[in-house]
Amino acid sequence: MNTICSIVPPHVLKRIATNGTERQRDRALRAMSMAGRMRERRQILGSLRFGYTPSGELSRTVYDAHRSEELPGTRARGEGDRAVDDVDVNEAYDGAGSTYDFYREVLDRNSIDDQGMRLDSSVHFSVDLDNAFWDGTQMVYGDGDGEIFERFTASIDVIGHEMTHGVTQYTAELEYRDQPGALNESNSDVFGSLVKQWSMKQTVEEADWLIGHGLLLPNIHGQALRSMKAPGTAYDDPVLGKDPQPDHMSRFVTTAADRGGVHINSGIPNRAFYLAATAIGGYAWEVAGKIWYTTLTQRLQGDSQFADAAAGTISVAGELYGDGSSEQEAVRNAWEEVGVLVAG
């Protein structure tokens, strides 16, 4: 810790935090955290996020919310800091790093906004919270209740899922309801799963295609929260109930809950991705991942429906690999198999 900053007057810290180099800024923000100047710190972070000059570097900070609902909490680990004595903090840090590396190396994207946006995460949010979420600027993780759910940092695809909500926010801006919302959720599952597959160097046959594997405690009858391979089969438990995801348009769920079933009907596009990726074979991120990413960032928009995602991925596959290519056929067949397109 540098003690110099803590004797610098607040207005100077503010100026450094706003205008300084990344290193200076980080120190100033840290000093403001230590000095309890959280409100000003948040304002500066907010404005930085808005007009942030690209650093081109990975810049992670993990905060501890100490079981409160105040964000971001106190700083627990910053970029380059050694591991700390808190597994949640280290998992959030490592998972953000793997996700950043995945986007950078595989998809040539520099962080959430493609401008090197800093990656902030808070752990220990609220009390025994069975959830993880993206708040529009950062990742947030609950501890889980300890009876059904583990801590939400325990599964790397959850971290990739939350960061991808940020990517979608900066690209397709898919509305968070009904089919656009289910596409928003599905893209988070697709890239969350790809982060895991890429970090473990798994082929399509080796991958488990599960979302949230390891989040359910051993006494719960279930292997994960969602299955991209077989939506609707991830869990079946007396307390949790049964996985409600459909695997085909004929079983599309019409509901007012969950903003029109955004976490439910995502099973349909999830399975389309699984089918396309396995038909193409090899590593899912190399071909299918690129097709889906190009579609998310260049074809989809706020009100896009499943049929738009199908048309978009088929046209992108044609551009990248040729019209009538086996890759394009694999994508078309996948959307037909889940009933989004009618075979013909």
Partner 1 sequence: MRVTVERSGGFAGITKTASVDRDALAPADAETMDELVRDVDDAAPIADAPSQERDRFEYSVTLETGDGLRTITASESQASPSLRRLIEWVVSTADRSGS
**Over the Cα atoms of the chain, what is R_g?**
21
Choice between 31 and 264, CB closer to partner 1: 264
Q: CA angle, corner 246, sides to 250 and 255, nearest 5?
A: 85
120 binds partner 1 (CB under 8 A): no
CA distance 160 to 187: 10
Piece of the chain touching partner 1 by CB under 8 A; list 20-28, 33-41, 57-65, 256-264:
256-264
Please indicate whether residue 124 is annotated as part of the active site: no
Piece of the chain touching partner 1 by CB under 8 A; list 7-15, 194-202, 236-244, 289-297:
236-244
Pairing state between β 226-227 and 60-64: unpaired
CB of 149 to partner 1, least distance (A): 8
Per DSSP, the three-state class of 119 is strand
H/E element, 180? helix 178-200
238 binds partner 1 (CB under 8 A): no
89 binds partner 1 (CB under 8 A): no
Piece of the chain touching partner 1 by CB under 8 A; list 22-30, 112-120, 157-165, 197-205:
157-165
CB of 136 to partner 1, least distance (A): 3
Please indicate whether residue 162 is annotated as part of the active site: yes
262, with CB counted inside 10 A (0-12, 13-18, 19+), is: buried
The single residue among 61, 179, 188, 202 that binds partner 1, judged by CB under 8 A, is: 188
Choice between 28 and 142, CB closer to partner 1: 142
CB of 6 to partner 1, least distance (A): 33
Q: CA angle, corner 157, sides to 156 and 158, nearest 5?
A: 90
Piece of the chain touching partner 1 by CB under 8 A; list 56-64, 240-248, 314-322, 332-340:
240-248
Tally Cβ neighbours within 10 Å of residue 290. Answer: 18
Choice between 81 and 135, CB closer to partner 1: 135
220 binds partner 1 (CB under 8 A): no
The single residue among 45, 264, 296, 310 that binds partner 1, judged by CB under 8 A, is: 264
H/E element, 39? helix 38-50
Peptide bond into 54 cis (omega under 30): no
Tally Cβ neighbours within 10 Å of residue 101. Answer: 14
256 binds partner 1 (CB under 8 A): yes
Q: Which of 162, 165, 213, 327 does the annotation list as catalytic?
A: 162
Q: Which residues pair with 63 in a beta bridge?
A: 75, 122
User: Residues with catalytic annotation?
Assistant: 162, 263
